[in-house]
A and B are shown apart, each in its own frame.
Chain A
Amino acid sequence: MSRWNLSWRLLPLLAVMMLVLTGCAQDPYLSALDPKGPVASAQLSLIMLSLYIMIGVFVVVMVIYVYVLFRFRKRPGQTGIPEQVEGNHKLEIIWTVIPLILLAVLAVPTVSLTFDLAEKHSTEEALQVKVTAHQFWWEFEYPDLEISAGQDLYIPTGQKIQFQVTAKDVMHAIWIPALGGKIDTNPGMTNNMWLQADKPGTYKGKCAELCGPSHALMDFKVIALEPAEFDKWVNNMKATATKTVPASAQAGQEVFNQSCIGCHAVDATKGVKVPDIAPNLAGFADRTVLAGFIEHNNENLAQWIKNPQSLKPGNLMPAFEGKLDEQQINDLVEYMNTLTLE
């Protein structure tokens, strides 16, 4: 009997645990409850501190609450009038002062971490990354390395990354929960934020501010590499400036040069020098997803070129169905599959 009772009491706890555990999935990492860098860890420990204080208060309230509801419910046949208590100064002072002390305990680390996280690191201390958010994709520029990338953000592990963020059109917010909290990207302004990944892996990024029809689909990836791997990636990115195209893809390159190059660069060193209205496609073939969230295969890529609206409503890319014939689209897909960094 008592065991039965206990399992019932544990049921809600189990449900919560299940909910949380489903969030601690494997690579790629998303959850803020499973921090992968010092910023996210510090934020989670502050969240836990505030949660513990609050749970303490909640327990006190609930104990009184449950006691009162059982002890002082009107019983059948009960008459008379309860004593009309005006108040109790001692009690009232207690529940004014104790919360003040608890809040002071919370306020000190809060203010200290707020200032830490607002610190702006120079080029010597951190890798600088300029982020520009667009409807509905991300541009990452590495000013010191003179390269830029679309959609996938590569970073070295064990090093602070200093972001300078802005937006081209409407407000967005950059959020990589496993690495740390978010900051708004405001058109006409630049905000600063720093993050760090301790271990190699893929961390999911999200747009957190409502930015139009495809706000939900404005995902990106952060790929953290060991410093040596990262340097290799940088060199490969730089090499896209001089990369030659295999003969089999030349027909596709011609189509690209006629129809796509007005908006898309395939050369990572050119980045923002091309009209920055569309993502840089350097290293496109290495991306595991298209447009931030669609499985990367030839069929989906052809569908995207034909009618991007059907996959990501409100994006700015024109539909090429009717403008390019089936053969041209196949050539284009072939060509884009050659845009690797190897």
Chain B
Amino acid sequence: MATHAHPKRTGLWDWLTTVDHKKIGILYLIAGGFFFLIGGLEALLMRIQLMYPNQEIFVGGSFNQLLTMHGTTMIFLAAMPIIFALMNAIVPLQIGARDVAFPFLNSLGFWLFFLGGLLLNLSWFLGGAPDAGWTAYLPLSGKNYSGMGVDFYVLGLQIAGIGTWIGGINFLVTIINMRAPGLTFMRLPMFTWSVFVTSALILFAFPAITVSLVLLMFDRLFGGAFFEPALGGNIVIWQHLFWVFGHPEVYILILPAFGVISEVIATFSKKRIFGYSAMVFATVLIGFLGFMVWVHHMFTVGLGPVANSLFSIATMLIAVPTGIKIFNWLFTMWGGQIRFTAANLWAVGFLPTFVIGGMTGVMLSVPPADYQFHDSYFVVAHFHYTIVGGMVFALFAGLHYWWPKMFGKILNETLGKIGFWFFFIGFHLTFFPQHFLGLMGMPRRVFTFLPNQGLELGNFISTIGAFSMTIGTLVFLYNVIVTATRGEKASNDPWDARTLEWTISSPAPEYNFAQTPLVRGLDAFWVEKMAGKKKMTPAEPLGEIHMPSPSILPFIMSLGLFIAGFGFMHHAYLIVIIGLGTTVVCMFLRSIYDDPGYHVHPDEEEVKA
């Protein structure tokens, strides 16, 4: 076996060409965090407009751009990428792998997502952002009723969507094929399990959104009539396709959050997860049922009582596996030694908040009640309780928990707790009153409300809460800066944790594991600790480690599609050919040049330590 030179790269070039899952995880975190701030700013502007009745700060079309971009950005460009950040940073480490199955694809997935998201956000400067809601219902999102913004939505999301889909496949293959010896499926950490199920959902759900975006693209750009009632088209088809994707999407978001909570609660209670096999079963069942319930977003479309009843009962069923999870988390803490670190504070704060989101979810599954809730602020409250109170809380828990493993430093605990309280209290102030606003007759997506309808108080409190959440987020950002400049250096295992990622240095070396570990049970590291050992038993002799080469091709391929996107929306087919041509040439280069990678020697010091 030939040893190839170790190509040392630094700076920007290193980040553009890296195929290392840990660095790609950081890229996802930076990009997702950036979009999270943009989406948060959009939310804050909306709340300022709605602080008092009849304000005229963002009126009509400009408010609709804000609400559309807030939803689209938060779902596709903030929530999913930050999940991908944790997936990339942690899953290979949790399964004792040296990288993901397809490092090149991993990089391609990131750059597609990032450039797709950039394309979408450039709409602000190039003729206005999309304004038909993140759901882009037809005919409002058709070419007769909305401007160029929706073209950016259609093309940006297609490009970003390919990236996500590639990522999903990559993690499925990684988790199936690259587990360390002894790490059977029923020994996988809960976070890895949830990523596995989420990846399967991505595999099946993203084709549906891609198909619907392609159909909409044909309608808008090439004179199609799939959704044009006057020409025999049907607008409800869009809603079916969108929600066949859209409902699994919410489970794509929440399942990894469940995974994070399981890890954090188990570690900080110093106990193994209660009812592990039930937890796994519940995760798989939620993923499966997630595909069976999309019509509960469409109870008011007029599909008839049979469809509404069937989908109602299917939706209620999801409460059962979700309830199992809640009780298992409670009983994981039962009898434990609970430490209230910042990470665990987020996880503990998640529990009641998510239960409220689940409760309103069951209430929404009742069609006659949903006729009142639907498209009102009650729904806005519900999905923010699940997505922010559920997923974002879990992401903060995960970030505080795994920060040492990603960056080698522990986030400041005091700042972490201050940020939590501002965000937690602000969150409930913002969204709890919205349940009542909805029932009191406030539809969602309105840029203003009239005085003397009883809606003033709730809206005012809600805006105050939004400011508190903003402060919480800023405290977190400040914490990141403080920690980076003078944070405490983290040991391998700062939390006395249970899983494989904590057996190696913080941050992990380039090759992750000098020797692939041998796994002897659930919570592999804990098993060794209980046996009185300080480290894992290796499953292979020490030797040279094969690494994939960095490559600039994923970036250029994505850039090609980015350029082609602009060409499509301006009907400039020369630019389309240049863009797609660039991508195809890169694919060709990638195919004909064999890349043998290179080898590294593990750090002797580290192996001894």
A residues near B, CB below 8 A?
16, 18-20, 22-25, 30-33, 40, 42-44, 46-47, 50-51, 53-55, 57-58, 61-62, 64-65, 68-69, 72-74, 78, 81-88, 91-92, 95-96, 99-100, 103, 106-107, 110-111, 113-115, 117-118, 169-171, 173, 175, 177-178, 180-184, 186-189, 191-192, 204, 206-217, 219, 293, 313-314
Contact = CB atoms under 8 A, between A and B. Distances in A.
Contacts of A42: 368
Interface in B317-347: 317, 319-320, 323-324, 326-328, 330-331, 333-340
Tier of interface size on chain B: 35 or more
Given A22-B454, A46-B369, A85-B272, A54 B309 contact: no
A286 B274 CA distance: 67
A19 B439 contact: no
A318 to B, nearest CB: 18
B60 A20 contact: no
6 contacts: A33-B436, A47-B363, A72-B336, A84-B272, A114-B312, A216-B449
Given A182-B374, A207-B443, A187 B229 contact: yes
Contacts of A191: 301-302
B443 A208 contact: yes
A27 B352 CA distance: 38
B118 interface: no
Contact of B441 (A32, A53, A214): A32
| CB-CB nearest 9 A-B residue pairs | A181-B371, A188-B229, A213-B60, A216-B446, A23-B440, A313-B60, A191-B302, A87-B275, A54-B359
B312 A110 contact: yes
Given A24-B454, A72-B338, A95-B323, 10 more contacts: A23-B440, A31-B454, A68-B338, A72-B335, A84-B272, A107-B316, A209-B375, A210-B444, A215-B446, A215-B447
A85 B274 contact: yes
A62 B454 contact: no
B453 A61 contact: no
A184 B302 contact: yes
B323 A99 contact: yes
Interface of B: 59-61, 63-64, 67, 131-133, 137-140, 145, 229-230, 233-236, 269-272, 274-278, 300-302, 304-305, 308-309, 312-313, 316-317, 319-320, 323-324, 326-328, 330-331, 333-340, 348, 351-352, 355-356, 359-360, 362-363, 366-372, 374-376, 433, 436, 439-441, 443-450, 452-458, 530
Given A58-B355, A73-B340, A81-B270, A216 B447 contact: yes
Contact of B312 (A24, A30, A111): A111
Residue of B60, B230, B530 with highest tally of chain A CB at under 10 A? B60
B330 A110 contact: no
Contact of B323 (A57, A64, A173, A207): A57
B309 A61 contact: no
B138 to A, nearest CB: 8
Nearest to B450: A293
A232 B467 CA distance: 54
A44 B371 CA distance: 11
B140 A212 contact: yes
B193 to A, nearest CB: 16
Nearest to B279: A87
Nearest to A213: B60
B236 A30 contact: no
B308 to A, nearest CB: 5
Contacts of A16: 436
A86 B304 CA distance: 46
Contact of B454 (A23, A171, A181): A23
Interface residues of B: mostly helix, strand, loop or mixed? helix
A100 B145 CA distance: 45
Contacts of A219: 450
A33 B235 contact: no
Contact of A114 (B132, B270, B301, B308): B308
A171 B300 contact: no
A30 B61 contact: no
B367 A61 contact: no
A91 B327 contact: yes
A88 B331 contact: yes
Given A22-B457, A42-B368, A87-B274, A68 B312 contact: no
A93 to B, nearest CB: 10
Contact of B235 (A22, A81, A188, A214): A188
A32 to B, nearest CB: 5
B374 to A, nearest CB: 6
Nearest to A85: B274
A68 B183 CA distance: 32
A47 B372 contact: yes
A31 B275 contact: no
A96 B59 contact: no
Contact of B448 (A82, A177, A207, A216): A216
Q: Which of B313, B339, B367 has the most CB of A within 10 A?
A: B367
A40 B441 CA distance: 12
A42 B367 CA distance: 12
A82 B337 contact: yes
Contacts of B452: 25
B164 to A, nearest CB: 25
A61 B355 contact: yes
B330 A65 contact: yes
A24 to B, nearest CB: 7
A25 to B, nearest CB: 5
Contact of B271 (A85, A103, A115): A85
Nearest to A25: B454
Contacts of A96: 320, 323-324
Contacts of A178: 441
